A and B are shown apart, each in its own frame.
Chain A
Amino acid sequence: MADALLEIEELTKRFGGVIASDSISLCVPKGELHAIIGPNGAGKTTLIGQLAGEIAADAGRIHFEGRDVTALPTDRRSQLGLARSFQITSLFLDFTVLDNVALAVQAHAGHSFRFWRDARSESQLRAPARAALARVGLAGRADVVVSNLSHGEHRQLEIAMALATRPRMLLLDEPMAGMGPDESARMVKTLRELKRELTILLIEHDMEAVFALADRITVLVYGRIIASGTPEAIRANAEVRQAYLGEQEQRHG
């Protein structure tokens, strides 16, 4: 695909005898919100780990904006515009909310071998950080130490930090995990806004959110793609219903 922002070819990862990624090939064009669903242990987070550069793939290639990034370390991929959020919140707990986001801004504002000037007084770091907080609805919590935030606020901050790196693409690992209905609705609203300007790869268990947001959905089971298509096609797909959606309906029913 010519305008593919992210292109994955035959990505494979084994942990011992377990295949976490079974020659996954996937193409995400610019502007798409692509959701990846699948039961627990399907290898969704492992896939994000490989895309972000934390886990080395055993085989296959990853192209971002036409460039082969398979061998690049995490920080270089971030510099190219690939930002991730974490399923298990990964923040600077002993920093304030604003310091967390300002650090993400700083990572993309040239090198940090600057030893003298007070970083907390630099408006070129603080202003964009405040803007990112405003977008996720945390503007009023800027000066709170992160360990004192609620779980839902942690999830919002996760997104704000990814946004503050001014990415071209967001890799979101279950942004709604552990959220209440109100918080989830809020997050869906935020993601719907972000979707207008960013390409997003979304992993999420909340099916309502996924079907409301996604342009395309890929279903992963035991590391293998069993289906990929529009929400309507996925909903109608018999194999998916059996492997995944049906299982849920049974549980709910």
Chain B
Amino acid sequence: MIASLTPRNVVVAVLLLLLAAVPVYAAVTANAFLVTLFTRVIILGIAASSLNLILGYGGMVSFGHAVYLGIGGYAVGILAQEGVTSGFVQWPLALVVSALFALLVGALSLRTRGVYFIMITLAFAQLVYYFGVGLDRYGADDGLTIRRRSQFDDLINLSDRTQFYYLCLALLLATIYLIWRVVNSRFGMVIQGARSNDRRMRAIGFPTFRYRLTAFVIAGAICGVAGALLANHTGFISPATMHWTRSGDLIVMVVLGGMASSFGPLIGAVALLSLEEALPILIRAMAFPVFGDAAVRMAEYWQIVLGPLFLLVVLFARGGIDGLLAGARRG
């Protein structure tokens, strides 16, 4: 985060300015959709940043990170359903339950490596997913509509689209700053060392397990808060929020944007969600002159374009988009 005029810093600065300007632009053009879209981008940017702490810096490929979005969301949804709408209760609960669940998953999964670790985190996430499907009292498969957003007395009104947007943006920046501090601290050196060479870490005297577990819990807790935000944003929570494909989306954001980079996950979230919106439109526009009405059908297959794009980044830019911007940073 050194403020020199490298291409990457310029891109990040422009991106942040654009994000800050979204509600203004939306108000001027009366295009509320943009605020909705970018609120989602920001919230998933928080979730992806939390995943980056363990995946990018810690080398722990958690394939169940969306479960915390679900846990945080259900904490808000279930409490709201039971008449507790105070955000001062809902959000801390979302954070604490997510942290406790991460503690459980981490305590078991971090004893394993590689594919086994991935599978255990996936299995736990699926467990909670099916638990949600069986929650008849709270909408089961169909999910739960949240009629009132979290109440913060007179502090902030989340029903106001703009206020909610800026709250999410502030929390995103706070998350990125927090993770940046953490990864450069002694603690951060330990989890990065364990990613690089866990055996050597133990040989020089680190009990790495407890540090990796702590990172895993921090990541889960942050993502739980993102889940509370997401539930407020959509006014709805269902098991689909924590489906394994959602966990996959978070991994794609981190890898696409740049692992072990402060702003990488945000860049990845912006890129992925923007492409999801823009690719169908682009394909339709480009194919229409040639194929006529068939272009509408073709646009439905926008992922055919997204897939190779992702592949190219993985193959040729190991540091993701952020790595491309920064040039060859590491090996």
Contact = CB atoms under 8 A, between A and B. Distances in A.
Interface of A: 52, 54, 73-76, 78-79, 83-84, 86, 90-95, 99, 102-104, 106-108, 112-120, 122, 125, 145, 147, 161-162, 164-165
B184 interface: yes
A136 to B, nearest CB: 15
B189 A106 contact: yes
A106 to B, nearest CB: 6
Nearest to A125: B186
Given A78-B203, A107-B206, A95 B196 contact: yes
Contacts of A86: 200, 203
A165 B205 contact: yes
Contacts of A52: 203
Given A92-B197, A145-B330, A114 B185 contact: yes
B204 interface: yes
Given A90-B197, A95-B196, A145-B331, 14 more contacts: A75-B202, A78-B202, A90-B199, A91-B200, A94-B196, A103-B190, A106-B189, A106-B190, A107-B206, A113-B187, A115-B188, A117-B186, A119-B185, A122-B186
A103 B189 contact: yes
Name B's interface SS. Answer: helix
A199 B88 CA distance: 59
Given A91-B197, A104-B204, A161-B204, A112 B184 contact: no
A120 B184 contact: yes
Given A112-B186, A112-B190, A118-B185, A78 B196 contact: no
7 nearest A-B pairs in the assembled complex, by CB-CB distance: A78-B205, A107-B205, A92-B196, A74-B202, A114-B186, A112-B186, A104-B204
A115 B211 contact: no
Q: Give the interface size bracket for B toward A.
A: 20 to 34
A146 to B, nearest CB: 9
A106 B204 CA distance: 9
Contacts of A104: 204-205
Contacts of B188: 115, 119
Given A79-B205, A161-B204, A114 B187 contact: yes
Contacts of B214: 113
Given A73-B207, A114-B187, A90 B200 contact: yes
Contacts of B192: 95
A180 B211 CA distance: 39
Contacts of A75: 202, 205-208
A103 B204 contact: yes
B193 interface: yes
Nearest to B188: A119
Contacts of A83: 203-204
Nearest to B193: A103
Contacts of B202: 54, 73-75, 78
Interface string B153-193: 00000000000000000000000000001101111111011
A176 B244 CA distance: 49
Contacts of B186: 106, 112, 114, 117, 119, 122, 125
A92 B200 contact: yes
Nearest to B330: A94
A66 to B, nearest CB: 20
Q: Which of B190, B192, B200, B211 has the most CB of A within 10 A?
A: B200
Contacts of B211: 112-113
Contacts of B182: 115-116
Contacts of B193: 92, 95, 103
Contacts of A78: 202-205
Contacts of B206: 75, 107, 112
A91 B199 CA distance: 9
B181 A84 contact: no
Contacts of B190: 103, 106, 112
Contacts of A119: 184-186, 188-189
